[in-house]
Amino acid sequence: DAKTTQPNSMESNEEEPVHLPCNHSTISGTDYIHWYRQLPSQGPEYVIHGLTSNVNNRMASLAIAEDRKSSTLILHRATLRDAAVYYCILRGYGQNFVFGPGTRLSVLP
C-alpha cells in the first residue's frame, strides 16, 4: 500500500481556515486520495476524496498538486467541532483503507 506523511498535530483558531497537508510521493496513477476524520470516541467519518482534480463539498475542499505527490485538505472556517484526527489515505484498485498516524487538529476558541 502507498504511504502518506502528515504532521502529527496542528492548531487552528476558531473561524479561521485550516490547511492540512499530506505528502504521498509514491502515489500511483490509480490511487485515490481519501480524507477521513475521527472525532473523539467516534468512528472515522468520510470527509472528501479525489483522483487528480481539486474537489469541493459541503465539509471541505481538497487541493491536489499537479504531480499528485501531495495534497491539502482545506477546512474553510474551523469550528470547535472540527477538532479531530484527520487521516489522509491512498486507496488503489483492490486495496483496503490503511490508516496511518494522521494529524491531530486542535481548534482554539
Partner 1 sequence: AAGVIQSPRHLIKEKRETATLKCYPIPRHDTVYWYQQGPGQDPQFLISFYEKMQSDKGSIPDRFSAQQFSDYHSELNMSSLELGDSALYFCASSYNPGGVNSGANVLTFGAGSRLTVL
What does the binding site for partner 1 look like in residue numbers (CB under 8 A)? Answer: 30-32, 34, 36, 38, 42-46, 49, 51, 87, 91-102
> C-beta of 49: minimal distance to partner 1 in Å?
7
CA dist 95 and 99 (Å) reads 12
Q: CB of 46: closest distance to partner 1 in angstroms?
A: 5
Q: Closest approach of Cβ 50 to partner 1, in Å?
A: 9
In the complex with partner 1, which residue's Cβ is closer, 7 or 44?
44
3-state helix, strand, coil in the chain (%, to 5): 5, 45, 50
DSSP string of 44-58, one letter each residue: -EEEEEESSS-EE-S
21 or 92: CB nearest partner 1 = 92
